[in-house]
Amino acid sequence: MNNLDQIVTHPLQTSFWGEFRKSWGNEVLETKYGILTLHKLPLTNYKIGMFIKGPEPNQPMLTDLKEIGRKYKLVFIKLEPNVGWEFPISGPKSSIKSKLIKLLKQNGAVQGKTLFTPTTFQIDLSPSEEELMKGFSSKTRYNIRLAERKGVIVKENGSDKAFSKYLELTRETVGRQGFFAHTEKYHRLMWNILKKAGIARLMVATYQGEIITTWILFAWKDFLYYPYGASTEKHKEVMANNLMMWEAIKFGKKLGLTTFDLWGREEGKGFTKFKEGFSPKVIEFLGTWDLIINKPLYMIYKIAEYIRWPVLKLFAASGLSKHRF
């Protein structure tokens, strides 16, 4: 473990994630605060920086980031600090958040378009299995027991065969739901590097000898994360996802981890309602902030972004986006 890995609190700030992004083709800068990925703006000599899931901002950090931005001709650096509090935020924690926002604004940062959701779900893994199960909704408990009665089996399986099934189910899920997804090459590269580092783990749910659900989990420091999942439409009635979540919780406890982060929360979505059945805490992050380095070019960028996103949404609605995987 290098010096960076000793201080960072999120897998997307590790040297291993930096290695993956470099292998993917990104320019990666390793600073004393964490890693920045640089992304070239088309038809220009300028770039934007992404500093995602970094530490709590302070004045020295923001000063250094602005200096880095000028050196590398960045239009802005997008900050999404790995800093959050249980919702609703009140008392001293609310005061801390207000002070951090004031600091960001004093340094020329403005709220930007989000990459991660502003809130996430987290499950405390410290209670006993019995206490955790008791806290779930009655429907969730029923569905877990139903999956067990039906003979669904969930295990960690990092084999090449299991990962190929994960890719197959991801293609099916993307085709069914029509959302944007990373390419197969991206997933393979990420898996190969993070598996070797001991961060990425693959869980599979099998029914009647067939893998029907696959989840990739990340384990880092005291946290377990659930970034990727895919399943088939077949055998939905056996409630494999409910058992998968329960076994992932038990897996995290077995590893000695303290918190299971469910990687985002979107109100009104079906999968959010599924997660709510496990009685997680809602965590609200500091938010997404664009630390502006070049104000005139940033204004041009925002106009282009305003035009671009409606086009991408139309593209997704048309079903064409499924061909990206």
State whether 172 and 53 are in the same domain.
no
State whether 43 and 132 are in the same domain.
no
- Summarize pLDDT for 245-291 with one digit per residue, the tens: 999 999 999 999 999 999 999 887 778 999 999 999 999 999 999 99
**pLDDT above 60 (res 316):** no
- Domain containing 161 equals 126-257
Task: Work out the number of other CB atoms within 10 angstroms of the CB of residue 198.
Answer: 10
Number of domains in the chain: 2
In a domain, 320, yes or no: yes
DSSP letter at 323? G
In a domain, 297, yes or no: yes
DSSP letter at 322? G
The model's confidence at residue 177, banded by pLDDT at 50, 70 and 90, is: low
State whether 300 and 215 are in the same domain.
no
In a domain, 176, yes or no: yes
Distances (CA, A) of 228 to 22, 77, 189: 21, 26, 14
In a domain, 266, yes or no: no
Amino acid in the structure at residue 207: Y
For residue 309, the model assigns a pLDDT of 56
State whether 135 and 253 are in the same domain.
yes
Helix axes 160-177, 184-196, angle to 10 degrees: 140
State whether 143 and 180 are in the same domain.
yes
The model's confidence at residue 78, banded by pLDDT at 50, 70 and 90, is: very high
State whether 175 and 291 are in the same domain.
no
Peptide bond into 88 cis (omega under 30): yes
State whether 134 and 204 are in the same domain.
yes
In a domain, 151, yes or no: yes
- As a whole number, the mean pLDDT across the chain is 92
Instruction: Give the three-class secondary structure for 108.
Output: coil
CATH number for the domain harbouring residue 237: 3.40.630.30
In a domain, 278, yes or no: no
Q: Report CA 13 to chain centroid distance, whole Å.
A: 12
- Summarize pLDDT for 192-236 with one digit per residue, the tens: 999 999 999 999 999 999 999 999 999 999 999 999 999 999 999
Q: pTM (2 decimals)?
A: 0.91
CATH number for the domain harbouring residue 27: 3.40.630
